[in-house]
Amino acid sequence: MRAVRRFMANRGALVGAALVLLLVVLSVLPHGDPLAPHIDRGLSAMGAPLPPSGDAFLGTDHLGRDVWARICAGATTSLELATLSTLLALALGLSVGLTAGYAGGWVDSALMRLVDLVLAFPFLLLAILLAALLREADLAGGSAPVVLTIGICGWTSMARVIRGKSLSLARSEHVLAARALGASPLRIVVRHVLPNIAGIVIVVTALGFAQNLLAESVLSYLGLGPPPPAPTWGRMLYEGRAYYRTAPWLSIAPGVAVLTAVVAFNLLGDALRDLLDPKGPRR
């Protein structure tokens, strides 16, 4: 109850939670067919997109498709891809961080040099390169390249944070006592280390989710996201760039959606950090 009261007293947490809930609701509610082009009633007499109106809340795009329906469908796509890529990054980061922190010594040094090598490349640049290679090599189809790309590129920050917490716990008295009693490393990690780092794992996962959602939008904008006709916010931004003068809502709507989603998960992650790891470092 005390944790709930602290969360409710945090305005940023409430705003973030409300925005996340709104995104989830938009992604699951029925919103019409985002792929159906209504050439006869979705375009003007000159063949131009229609502005926002009672029939189309956010107007129509260059093919006469309802922008609102595409925004809602894009929320489903973006949240699904960000969730899958975050889970992959978490699995990699948790495995590497726990192994490095508990084992220490040369294992720790080797794994951290691997992390440093990946971090030497800018996240988005590495993601773009890997996504292009996967798609060019046809190693995966559909949305799989996006999930693999973001997951493989986004695990390093999680690994470093988890490794730091695990390193201190591995030298704690209750872990040393468990070792002395003959407990296996796996049992020690599962019973004594994981429960004590659950809070920071939740925090880095929430913050990583925001980064991964933004990365998915960037890849989609560059044509490296899910292939058409799947609606994504990044692809909508790309398609709307040619109409920024005559139909600005085509770029404004997905841009606001991306901004809202990233801010929402960052606010929620910061609030969870203050709640679950109040003595942790601040960015």
19-73 pLDDT tens trace: 888 888 888 876 777 777 665 555 665 557 777 777 777 878 877 788 888 888 8
Confidence (pTM):
0.82
In the prediction, which pLDDT does 103 show? 82
Has residue 283 been placed in a domain?
no
Number of Cβ within 10 Å of residue 220's Cβ equals 27
Contact criterion met (CB below 8 Å) for 68 and 58: yes
The confidence score (pLDDT) of residue 277 equals 56
Residue 282 lies in a domain: no
Is 252 within the bounds of a domain? yes
Domain count, the chain: 1
The Cα–Cα gap between 155 and 98 comes to 13
Residue ranges in the chain modelled with pLDDT below 50: 280-283
Q: How many CB atoms lie within 10 A of CB 136?
A: 9
CA quadruple 6, 281, 167, 181: dihedral sign: negative
pLDDT at 22: 87
Q: What is the model's pLDDT at position 276?
A: 67
Distances (CA, A) of 24 to 18, 21, 28: 10, 5, 6
pLDDT of amino acid 37 = 67
* Amino acid 283: pLDDT: 42
Residue 235 counted as domain residue: yes
Q: What pLDDT is recorded for position 91?
A: 92
Domain holding 151: CATH number? 1.10.3720.10
pLDDT (tens digit per residue) in 60-78: 887 778 888 888 888 888 8
Structural domain includes residue 205: yes
Domain of 134, in residue numbers:
2-276
pLDDT at 84: 92
pLDDT at 126: 81
Q: What are phi and psi of 49, to 5 degrees?
A: -60, 145
Q: Is residue 229 part of a domain?
A: yes
pLDDT value for 281: 42
Are 140 and 148 in contact, with CB atoms under 8 Å apart?
yes
Say if 128 falls within a structural domain: yes
Q: What is the pLDDT of residue 67?
A: 85
User: 141 in a domain, yes or no?
Assistant: yes
